[in-house]
Amino acid sequence: MKQNYLKYLLILLLLQNKSYALRCGNAVIVLGDTPQTVKIACGKPTQIHSLRRGKSKAIQWTYDFGPHAFKEVLTFQKDKLVQMNTAGYGE
């Protein structure tokens, strides 16, 4: 019972802070993680794109988890995860 209560409390806190995390297996990916951490947890991305944001460079990784799950698009700047977005269903 106590364990369920803690799970619900954690979910409420995450929703309240508008935080976002990606779960890969047993690992949780959050903003600030390095590309190496993400690759160890989630494996090789399906696509990699280089972007320019003003004067800075960014790298965007896309993970396609299949037709029954959403794609996840992760953006890195200066070796830190700075943005996570959910795209449409995978292929």
pLDDT of residue 17: 46
pLDDT of residue 16: 47
pLDDT of residue 54: 81
**What is the percent of the chain where pLDDT is above 70?**
80
10-residue mean pLDDT profile of the chain (91 residues): values are 62 52 91 96 96 89 93 95 92 89
Inter-residue contact 60 to 48 (CB < 8 Å):
yes
Inter-residue contact 62 to 44 (CB < 8 Å):
no
What residue ranges define each of the domains in the chain, with the CATH number in brackets? 22-89 (3.30.1450.10)
pLDDT of residue 2: 63
pLDDT of residue 7: 62
